[in-house]
A and B are shown apart, each in its own frame.
Chain A
């Protein structure tokens, strides 16, 4: 009962937003047209591709939006959280896989990728908490002047350090796995979809659902939203700001790391693997408006659609150029994104 009420109010607010929001309607309308064109021209397999990639971009972008919405940090090192996830996934899954080669075990073979993803989530959560305590908490203590810009540059430095630190420790080599599930692709509505893709999509959907539930239904989730709305007010009612900030950052990092581990079969693990996911996560948040978590989920699919369309119709070399140009247009025409962002301090210099 409770669940349906939330559902309806979310859909309601979405439809109201759409009715009052011409840009969003145009963008979503164009996306649907684009999806139909892809489906007709290249077959529904590409649409499945859009859905899988879109789920992952959504997961990444939701973390980015969360960090911006709650802490006002434009997180440039989000791709590096993804990178950490791919490494954890690799280092957990490979030994398990080797073990499985000697002693076949159906249950473990089924669970092994999930163990990798969960390990990545845990490492991401710890990494996020440590980074927040080490970097952002001291800065917040020192000054809040020019916070958005300063933290942006800080995360730029952080990304630089993480990429080069990884190169230093693990070397620049590529570490990849051929596939997670060694089973033939599923036949579905006449398309063949690799089980790995379904796995990645399921991970994305579960994570997004858990995140939504957590934000809407739990006390801590409400506290996070309260901090996003009004920091002083949240503090007045007894919310521990430091804890919420650390938790938020940890959550976002964990989600990105999960995405990294879940997509290990597509992206190999190497130091700069995070750049492309970072670009796409930023396209999403710029499209829907910085700090808009639910918008980011919708936006993830729109950007994935744009990406796939570019790959199919223009060429794979242009896959970051065309979305970039579209996002530049979006920034010129509607800098606050198609769903708008209701974030404090967004107009800060």
Chain B
């Protein structure tokens, strides 16, 4: 009994370091086998799952900045688009490298991620002196400028006509793509969780809560903020690469527009700011709900987006802690009622 207990504690602690609770792990396993279980093995539902994972990963990368250093990166979608376009350009015709048919998409997404990371580095430096609303507006303006650039550099990007980048695989099945994006989601989540679990996370939180106090206690805000922006943008660009080589179609409007940032922002907020996992957990049921509405209410276009926005407004006004806050509250309640005196497992 005692041995079992110790094993259990060690397991939860081990999982805790990479950011999972036993419940989270169970959900992940369910998610991983879902594409084989009817009705989820249908292609259109697989697309929903992929969309869910894609949004989930974006929400994690977005929350890494918004929830920790408390700077809302309003140019997030534009940075994602930079990654997507870089990868698409290098993979397709490669006018720069003068090789046909260009790089493999598996290499391209890393280069896209690197360039996006560089843009993030620049944005981090630009917003350095700015706080709160000014930083958000700066990121927004940079996003508008990037989108305008992509729209207008028609030689490279074909502008509003859109690009058709090569896809990762020849197959028309969605299942392999689901495992690709699931793996990417895990990489993003675990990496960012490990970073926030280290001293970096403490420093981020300190900067986010009180900039001056953090600086006074010896944290170098410049370094940490720029680092945070770069990493978040790197992953955004990486995910953008997935988008490019999964859908095989890119336009500035569908990828880089501010409203795309708002979708991710809404997810991250409904999930709970500063939790990383909240937005990830909420993304799947949310995409299903939204897509269900969209496919059943075709005569009411845009209803799903209205619900999206209303939910975000309600959460912001009445329950800013979001899903993560609800979970913590429920757990505290459960712990206090059932396992009084028992050792507590590592928290999520």
Contact = CB atoms under 8 A, between A and B. Distances in A.
A69 interface: no
A332 interface: yes
A167 to B, nearest CB: 4
A139 B314 CA distance: 10
B133 A152 contact: yes
Interface of B: 70, 72, 126, 129-134, 136-138, 140-142, 144-145, 148-149, 151-152, 208-211, 259, 262, 265-266, 269, 300-303, 305-306, 308-310, 312-313, 316-318, 320
Give the secondary structure class of A's interface: helix
Nearest to B145: A324
A157 B132 CA distance: 17
A321 B149 contact: yes
A74 B133 contact: yes
Give the secondary structure class of B's interface: helix
Contact of A153 (B72, B145, B308): B72
A133 to B, nearest CB: 12
B156 to A, nearest CB: 15
Interface residues of A, number: 44
A335 B318 contact: no
A348 B210 CA distance: 10
Interface of A: 74, 135, 138-139, 142-143, 148-150, 152-154, 156-161, 163-165, 167-168, 171-172, 279, 282, 286, 290, 315, 317-318, 320-321, 324-325, 327-328, 331-332, 335, 347-349
B302 A167 contact: yes
B210 A349 contact: yes
Contacts of B306: 161, 164-165, 168
Given A161-B306, A168-B303, A331 B316 contact: no
Contact of A349 (B131, B141, B145, B266): B131
Nearest to A68: B133
Contacts of B310: 157, 161
A315 B70 CA distance: 37
A28 B151 CA distance: 31
Nearest to B208: A349
Contacts of A139: 316-317
Given A167-B301, A317-B151, A331-B134, A150 B316 contact: yes
28 contacts: A138-B318, A139-B316, A142-B317, A148-B132, A149-B70, A152-B136, A153-B269, A154-B317, A156-B262, A158-B313, A160-B259, A160-B262, A160-B266, A161-B309, A164-B303, A164-B308, A167-B302, A168-B306, A171-B301, A279-B144, A282-B140, A286-B141, A315-B152, A327-B141, A328-B126, A328-B141, A331-B134, A349-B132
B81 to A, nearest CB: 15
Contact of B133 (A142, A164, A290): A290
Contact of A150 (B141, B309, B320): B320
B313 A332 contact: no
B121 to A, nearest CB: 15
B308 A160 contact: yes
B266 to A, nearest CB: 7
B72, B129, B133, B300 pick with most chain A CB within 10 angstroms? B133
Contacts of B300: 168
Nearest first, the 4 closest Cβ-Cβ pairs linking A and B are A321-B148, A161-B309, A160-B309, A164-B305
Contact of A286 (B72, B137, B208, B316): B137
Nearest to A286: B137
B134 to A, nearest CB: 5
B309 A320 contact: no
B313 A148 contact: no
Given A161-B313, A324-B144, A331 B308 contact: no
B137 A157 contact: no
A317 B150 CA distance: 11
A161 B310 CA distance: 6
Nearest to B310: A161
A154 B72 CA distance: 13
Contacts of B138: 328, 331
A331 B141 contact: yes
A279 B141 CA distance: 9
